[in-house]
Amino acid sequence: MKHICRLSNIPTCAQTEGLCTSIATDLQARYCFVLAFFSDVFVPLIQPFILVKASDGISEDVES
């Protein structure tokens, strides 16, 4: 792959700072709470229903 030129030898670090790392305002705390609620509670509750719907759609396509 001679057409690719290397920019550096050291890989860049991933971004470690996020929305909930340093909460400074009340609005940011609310956003962090909503984000945590969706990712920890809402998504695990809804995920089985999504998988059932996806498997139903796949089986209907195969039968046709």
Q: Is residue 51 included in any domain, yes or no?
A: yes
Residue 14 Rama label (left phi>0; alpha psi -120 to 50; beta): beta
pTM of the model: 0.53
Taking only the tens place, the pLDDT of each residue in 7-63 is 667 766 766 677 788 889 999 999 999 999 999 999 999 999 988 888 876 655 555
Q: Is residue 11 included in any domain, yes or no?
A: no
Domain extent at residue 49: 33-64
- Give the pLDDT of residue 7: 67
Q: Is residue 28 included in any domain, yes or no?
A: no
Q: Is residue 17 included in any domain, yes or no?
A: no
d(CA 43, CA 37): 9
Count of structural domains within the chain: 1
Q: Is residue 7 included in any domain, yes or no?
A: no
